Chain A
Amino acid sequence: MSEQIREQVSAFLDGELPSSETELLLKRLTRDVDLRESFGRYALIGEILRGTESGVGRYPLSRGFAAGVNAAINGEAAPGGSPSIQARAPRWWRPVAGAAVAAGVAAVAVVALQQRTVAPSVRTVVPVMAQNVAQSVAKPKEALSYTVPAVAPADESPPMLPAARLTSYVFAHSRYSSVLGQSNVLSGLLADADEQAPPDSRAVELPAVNRTVGNDAAPPRSSRDPRIAP
């Protein structure tokens, strides 16, 4: 990233870039993949710096943040390095299995609509990560009547979440997702399209109809409060 663009990006992130220049920067970013990556890193650094000096950062700086800064700076020195992706991700995303999975983490973020049922699917997350989840869950802040179920062991059969199926799920879910969340979900769906894939030949045309809304829909035997369910 040239010094001039760096300054532009910096001014933009501070909310101080004139709109004419913003327009220009936007055009550049739309065209240039590498610049977008640098921009992403830079935005992160900016966020962290801002976080430390403004009220927005009243949250304590966690190790994750520090790691994020380091990774972002390292990434800036060596663009395209996957380590930065790994380190920047919150703990449960951080894969243990190295670069291949790191690519997967970045890619899974988006659920490209792909038919990759078999595939050495990069777009699934290895169970190893589930262990990380277990660790982060280990010390819940408040002890409530809820217990986190045991996580599948790492040697269980490999996870299979075909992207095409996932897309259908996410699409159906987006209707009901909290609307703020919906923007994130849908933007995520839109975002990735790096790889081409053949269309799903099994798709069927289906009519729309009934869906019950509200608690009336609960089946007779089930309890509305799952915690007191049999």
Chain B
Amino acid sequence: MRNALRYRAAWLLPYAAAGVLTFSLVQRSIAADDPRAWLDKMNQALATRNYDGTFFHLSEGRVETMRIVHRVKAGLVTERLQSLDGSGREFVRNHDELTCFLPDQHTVLVEPRQVRGPFLGSLPRFGSDVDQFYLIESLPDSHVLGRPARVIAVNPKDQYRFGYRLWLDQKTAMPLKSQLCDARGQVIEQILFARLEMPETIADADLAPAVRTEGMRWVRQGASEDTAVPALSAYRASELPPGFHLTVSGTQTLGGATVPAAHLVYSDGLATVSVFVEATPAVNSEANDSTGSPPEPPMQGLARVGSGFAFSTVVQGHQVTAVGEVPAQTVESIAHSVKSFGASPSR
């Protein structure tokens, strides 16, 4: 009986397939001009394609040349980002680890369980909450690397976050050029491809770091085993710029640090800010004594980090540092608002 049913239904298959195809074609033509659809396509391309490219990273009139190699093989992603300008610095990410080779520092930094997207990035799927803070629109088509490109802008609606302009290859949706902009549309940073290949296969050799690691110091940073830090886990930002909310919280010990840090992640759906809370050396002198080095003075102030900012201050005897690819005022205000919501906040 079952067999008979299956048999009878089989003739419907071609029709069903045609129906699905027609439906998806219609869907596609509707969605074709939707800038969000292009962002999704870009996501897809960045995550699933093989690519090998060289790009310029322009920031403040400085230019760095970098090579990116991205391979998806048997469902596993391996990726390598390499500076070509002499420092020899490299990042290699495989499915569970991000390794940062810093030959100029004789150091290798390892961040385990790297579950994030590719180096070149992809946007998260936009929920309606993102609409509240960003305007996503198509701009007139253009050319990059001699290829026709779709231009998509993600504009921030206020001054608490940055925006993006993306030039996506018409054919593959790969970002050939991207700009990070402030709320006034001024370009802060730019990534511009000089060469981009999308080969069927990529050799292991292209993904192996060129750095010789003999004699280098390996520093592994990750979540702390010591979960008993109630004083730390009671810290939260008490006031946030519109749209930001807590997405991740945990405790980890950072490379080079002697005390564990609470790590809080706040996001508006696109931009993220990390907040680190650590006992200041004075509070935890024991840990410092064991290393034999003098306690560091507390940090205070603002610094540029990549395309974003870091701001550090001291709250209730704890060092609070906010870091993110957001305007200075965003990290500053978040850091300033951090306080303990616990019964015994600081000891």
Contacts and interface: CB of A to CB of B under 8 A. Distances in A.
Interface of A: 12-19, 22-23, 25-26, 29-30, 36-37, 39-41, 43-44, 47, 54-60, 62, 64-65, 68, 72, 75, 84-85, 88-90, 92-93, 105-106, 108-111, 113-114, 117, 123-127, 129-130, 133, 136-137, 140-142, 144-149, 151-152, 156-162, 164-193, 196-197, 199-215, 217-219, 221-222, 224-227, 229-230
A173 B323 contact: yes
B250 interface: yes
Given A43-B56, A169-B274, A225-B245, 7 more contacts: A125-B302, A130-B302, A169-B276, A182-B325, A188-B59, A188-B306, A189-B100
Interface string B291-317: 101001111111111111010110000
A167 B107 CA distance: 12
Contact of A185 (B151, B291, B308): B308
Contacts of A182: 116-117, 119, 121, 325
B268 to A, nearest CB: 9
Contacts of A224: 245-246
Given A14-B143, A55-B139, A204-B258, A162 B296 contact: yes
Interface of B: 54, 56-66, 81-91, 98, 100, 102, 104-107, 109, 111-124, 139-140, 142-147, 149, 151, 153, 157-159, 162, 164-165, 178, 180, 182-192, 194-195, 217-225, 227, 233-234, 236-242, 245-258, 263, 265, 267, 270-272, 274, 276, 291, 293, 296-308, 310, 312-313, 321, 323-325, 327-329, 332-333, 336-337, 341-343
A72 B342 CA distance: 52
A65 B181 CA distance: 12
Contacts of A225: 245
A165 B299 contact: yes
B294 to A, nearest CB: 9
A115 to B, nearest CB: 8
Contact of B187 (A47, A147, A171, A184): A47
A180 B222 contact: no
B303 A168 contact: no
Contacts of B305: 108-109, 111, 166, 169-170, 185, 188
Nearest to A89: B60
Contacts of B178: 180, 183
Contacts of B113: 208
B340 to A, nearest CB: 9
A179 to B, nearest CB: 4
Contacts of B151: 55-56
Contacts of A117: 296-297
Contacts of B112: 208
B63 A43 contact: yes
Contact of B250 (A93, A187, A204, A217): A217
Query: Which residue of A159, A160, A176, A197 has the most chain B CB atoms within 10 A of its CB atom?
Result: A176
Nearest to B97: A208
A54 B141 CA distance: 10
B249 A218 contact: yes
A193 B89 contact: yes
A15 B274 contact: no
A57 B187 CA distance: 11
Give the most central of B82, B98, B218, B301: most A CB within 10 Å: B301
B304 A203 contact: no
A30 B190 CA distance: 17
A117 to B, nearest CB: 6
Given A171-B221, A193-B104, A212-B250, A229 B195 contact: no
Nearest to A201: B293
A15 B146 contact: yes
B248 A19 contact: no
Contact of B272 (A136, A181, A218): A181
B342 A191 contact: no
B219 A205 contact: yes
19 contacts: A26-B65, A26-B195, A30-B85, A36-B63, A39-B63, A57-B185, A136-B159, A166-B323, A171-B254, A173-B265, A181-B308, A185-B305, A187-B306, A188-B57, A193-B104, A202-B291, A210-B227, A221-B342, A226-B337
A137 to B, nearest CB: 5
Contacts of A39: 56, 63
A84 B61 CA distance: 8
Contacts of B239: 146-147, 149, 226-227, 229
